[in-house]
């Protein structure tokens, strides 16, 4: 018996060390791989986010990400148009490397490497919900439910894992509901990636009926360049077709109702717009007064669509908090590119110019990103894929042309971070008649080359002295040295990125046959 009395403390001590060893193993397994919630809007201008000092609206839920994470002030895209931008997000590559140049006749090659495929292979649950806009079916996702093509705002058809379905209601609400439903049904033992991709606020900017009165009585401030005459710039700026004055259609302006409304939705729609439209017709506006009316109508509808997106972001953030997922989840809010809100008299995107080039980027990563931080480095949606891969502990494939933002998110910009960026737009002939161009962007300067045979010229802009990009200084003796350096840098980037000397056949847009 005495010997058992001596053995008891020894066994207790061994038990203690066993528990400690187990605890050490558990601790070594921490921190767990972060979940990723990627919220992506279509055509959401940074000028329409109050965290970016919007003068036209408030976005309290998107602003939460800025307060609790990092706001990037110079996130720029390599090709400012919907489909190519989405291909870049998935692959971390330029259009000439991932093969998706334009929205008109390209199809995304789903067999190539994408970051969701790599996360899926590493054990992540992956879902893609909302606007896809890449023609081919999504790959690398356990679950996908997408809008066909551009999708529609009201009662949208969708494709769920290859099967067509239809949902009653408003598209932003539906995409949010589907995202939350998937999150609720996921395996709680595995990390996840969900890409929640909104149609809004894409043209034709059709608001949810519950937000029709959201801006009643508001007169939106006009941008200083609403009546820009494009003096000081070349032929491309003069020959585009994206002005509020001439390009907007009756449907854009809500003088015609959407065809997909239910009788109940149509009743609410007509009750709001019909009296306003009748007053507009009686006013018989012309000239600048007509442009001003169109601008106010455009801003009302566009920003009302954003109100729904902001509500969606709030719902997702509230769910993560309620379910105890907030601390383990990276949340990213961005858009496929910037957008014009009347600057230069325009709507749409496409150009290398600031309102089109810059896209919002807000990242919340608890325990890693300092709340309320702001970054002004040249970053890009090229960098999203390598960022997600490093964040979860995976290696970045050599073919990726972006760089991980993880060091920047931790507050340490690498000494060799990019000081210049290559841009290339291909979709001409096409919607809005913006000519093909490429160029180099720095923190202060922008060298642009419009390279088609009938429009072969360069422009140079100094963002410090001319932040609205109204006067090209290309050929000005004062900028001769800067111009020479930028020409050299542009050549270096094209060589380093292996940009084809001539645009490949896939970029050629064939004329549509009658009836198509």
Residue 2 pLDDT greater than 70, yes or no = no
367 Rama sector, left if φ>0, alpha if ψ -120 to 50, beta otherwise:
left
Task: Note whether 230 and 345 are within 8 A (CB).
Answer: no
> What is the distance between the alpha carbons of residues 149 and 218, in angstroms, rounded to a whole number?
33
Inter-CA distances, 276 with 216, 247, 432, 482, Å: 11, 21, 28, 52
Please indicate, yes or no, if residue 25 is contained in any of the structural domains: no
Please indicate, yes or no, if residue 14 is contained in any of the structural domains: no
End-to-end CA distance of the chain: 96
Number of domains in the chain: 1
Residue pLDDT, tens place only, 393-424: 999 999 999 999 999 999 999 999 999 999 99
Q: Which long-range contacts (CB under 8 A, 24 or more apart) does 215-222 make?
A: 215/299, 215/300, 215/303, 215/304, 218/300, 219/296, 220/56, 220/295, 220/296, 220/299, 220/300, 220/303, 221/55, 221/56, 222/292, 222/295, 222/342
Residue 34 pLDDT greater than 80, yes or no = yes
Residue 1 pLDDT greater than 90, yes or no = no
75 Rama sector, left if φ>0, alpha if ψ -120 to 50, beta otherwise:
beta
Please indicate, yes or no, if residue 225 is contained in any of the structural domains: no
Angle at 485 between CA 483 and CA 486, to 5 degrees: 65
Q: Mean pLDDT throughout 419-436?
A: 97
Query: In what side-by-side order are the strands of the sheet with 421-425?
Result: 421-425, 437-441, 445-452, 455-462
Count of helix runs (H) and strand runs (E) in the chain: 13, 16
Residue pLDDT, tens place only, 343-400: 999 999 999 999 999 999 999 999 999 999 999 999 999 999 999 999 999 999 999 9
State the pLDDT at residue 332: 99
Q: Mean pLDDT throughout 139-168?
A: 97
Please indicate, yes or no, if residue 147 is contained in any of the structural domains: yes
State the pLDDT at residue 9: 44
Residue 21 pLDDT greater than 50, yes or no = no
Please indicate, yes or no, if residue 247 is contained in any of the structural domains: no
Closest CA to 131 of 305, 325, 354, 330: 305
Residue pLDDT, tens place only, 71-89: 999 999 999 999 999 999 9
Name beta bridge partners: 145: 129, 160
SS (H, E, C) 218-242: CCCCCCCCCCCCCCCCCHHHHHCCC
Please indicate, yes or no, if residue 478 is contained in any of the structural domains: yes
Residue 433 pLDDT greater than 90, yes or no = yes
> Of all helices (H) and strands (E), which one includes residue 429?
none
Closest CA to 497 of 410, 400, 412, 396: 400
- Using 50, 70 and 90 to split pLDDT, how confident is the model at 511? low
Q: What are phi and psi of 384, to 5 degrees?
A: -65, -50
Residues in the chain, overall count: 516
Please indicate, yes or no, if residue 20 is contained in any of the structural domains: no
Return the percentage of the chain with pLDDT > 90, whole number: 92
Residue pLDDT, tens place only, 90-124: 999 999 999 999 999 999 999 999 999 999 999 99
Which residues fall within 8 angstroms of residue 15, CB to CB, at 6 or more apart?
none
State the pLDDT at residue 31: 55
Task: Note whether 386 and 404 are within 8 A (CB).
Answer: yes
Residue 327 pLDDT greater than 50, yes or no = yes
State the pLDDT at residue 32: 78
Structure tokens at 243: 């002005």
Return the percentage of the chain with pLDDT > 70, whole number: 93
Range(s) of the domain holding residue 100 = 32-207+294-507
CATH of the domain at 412: 3.40.720.10
Closest CA to 215 of 113, 297, 140, 318: 297
Tell me what the pLDDT averaged over the chain comes to.
94
Residue 10 pLDDT greater than 90, yes or no = no
447 Rama sector, left if φ>0, alpha if ψ -120 to 50, beta otherwise:
beta
Inter-CA distances, 396 with 379, 389, 393, Å: 17, 6, 9
State the pLDDT at residue 26: 39
Name beta bridge partners: 71: 362, 374
Task: Note whether 78 and 383 are within 8 A (CB).
Answer: no
Pairing status of strand 437-441 against strand 421-425:
antiparallel
Please indicate, yes or no, if residue 13 is contained in any of the structural domains: no
> What is the distance between the alpha carbons of residues 151 and 343, in angstroms, rounded to a whole number?
27
């Amino acid at each position: 018996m005495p010997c058992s009395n001596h053995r008891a403390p020894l066994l207790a001590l061994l038990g203690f060390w066993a528990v400690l060893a187990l605890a050490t193993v558990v601790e070594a397994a921490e921190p767990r791989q972060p979940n990723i919630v990627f919220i992506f809007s279509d055509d959401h201008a940074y000028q329409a986010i109050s965290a970016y000092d919007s003068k036209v609206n408030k976005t309290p839920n998107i602003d939460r990400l800025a307060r609790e994470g990092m706001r990037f002030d110079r996130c720029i895209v390599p090709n400012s148009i919907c489909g190519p931008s989405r291909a870049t997000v998935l692959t971390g590559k330029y259009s000439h490397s991932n093969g998706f140049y334009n929205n008109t006749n390209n199809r995304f090659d789903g067999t190539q490497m994408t970051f969701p495929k790599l996360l899926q292979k590493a054990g992540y649950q992956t879902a893609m919900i909302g606007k896809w806009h890449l023609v081919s079916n999504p790959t690398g996702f356990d679950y996908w439910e997408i809008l066909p093509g551009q999708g529609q705002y009201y009662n949208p058809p969708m494709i769920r894992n290859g099967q067509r379905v239809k949902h009653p209601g408003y598209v932003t609400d539906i995409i949010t509901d589907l995202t939350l439903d998937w999150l609720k049904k996921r395996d709680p033992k595995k990390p996840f990636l969900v890409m929640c991709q909104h149609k809004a606020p894409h043209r034709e900017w059709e608001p949810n009926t519950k937000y029709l009165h959201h801006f009643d009585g508001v007169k939106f401030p006009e941008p200083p360049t609403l009546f820009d005459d494009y003096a000081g710039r070349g032929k491309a700026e003069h020959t585009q077709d994206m002005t509020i004055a001439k390009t907007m259609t009756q449907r854009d302006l809500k003088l015609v109702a959407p065809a997909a409304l239910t009788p109940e939705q149509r009743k609410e729609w007509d009750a709001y717009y019909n009296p306003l439209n009748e007053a507009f017709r009686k006013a018989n506006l012309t000239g600048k007064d007509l442009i001003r009316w169109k601008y106010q109508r455009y801003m009302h509808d566009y920003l009302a669509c954003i109100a729904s997106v902001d509500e969606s972001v709030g719902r997702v953030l509230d769910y993560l908090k309620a379910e105890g997922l907030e601390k383990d989840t990276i949340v990213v809010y961005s858009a496929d590119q910037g957008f014009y809100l009347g600057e230069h008299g325009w709507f749409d995107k496409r150009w290398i110019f600031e309102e089109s080039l810059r896209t919002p980027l807000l990242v919340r990563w608890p325990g890693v990103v300092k709340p309320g931080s702001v970054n002004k480095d040249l970053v890009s949606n090229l960098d999203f894929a390598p960022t997600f891969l490093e964040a979860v502990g995976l290696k970045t494939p050599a073919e990726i042309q972006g760089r991980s933002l993880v060091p920047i998110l931790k507050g340490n910009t690498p000494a060799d971070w990019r000081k210049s960026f290559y841009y290339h737009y291909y979709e001409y002939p096409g919607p809005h008649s913006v000519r093909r161009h490429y160029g180099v962007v720095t923190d202060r300067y922008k060298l642009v080359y419009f390279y088609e045979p009938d429009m072969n010229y360069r422009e140079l802009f100094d963002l410090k002295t001319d932040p609205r990009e109204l006067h090209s200084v290309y050929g000005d003796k004062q900028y001769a040295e800067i111009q020479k350096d930028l020409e050299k840098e542009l050549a270096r980037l094209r060589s380093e990125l292996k940009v084809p000397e001539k645009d490949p056949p896939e970029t050629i847009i064939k004329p549509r046959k009658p009836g198509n």
